[in-house]
Amino acid sequence: MISLDLRKKTFLFLFFLIPVLSLSALSMEHQNSDLPKKPEVREGMSLDEVRNIMGMPRNITRTEWRYPEIIILIENQQVACIIKPSCFGRWTNCQAYRTRSPECLIE
Give the pLDDT confidence of 47-100 residue by residue, as tens digits.
888 888 887 777 767 788 888 888 999 899 899 999 999 998 888 889 999 999
Q: What CA–CA distance (Å, rounded) separates 49 from 53?
A: 6
Q: Does residue 26 carry a pLDDT above 70?
A: no
Cβ-contact 50, 41 below 8 angstroms: yes
pLDDT at 35: 44
Across the range 22-41, mean pLDDT stands at: 58
Q: What CA–CA distance (Å, rounded) separates 67 from 57?
A: 14
Cβ-contact 71, 84 below 8 angstroms: yes
Sequence letter at residue 57: P
Nearest to 67 by CA among 59, 76, 55: 55
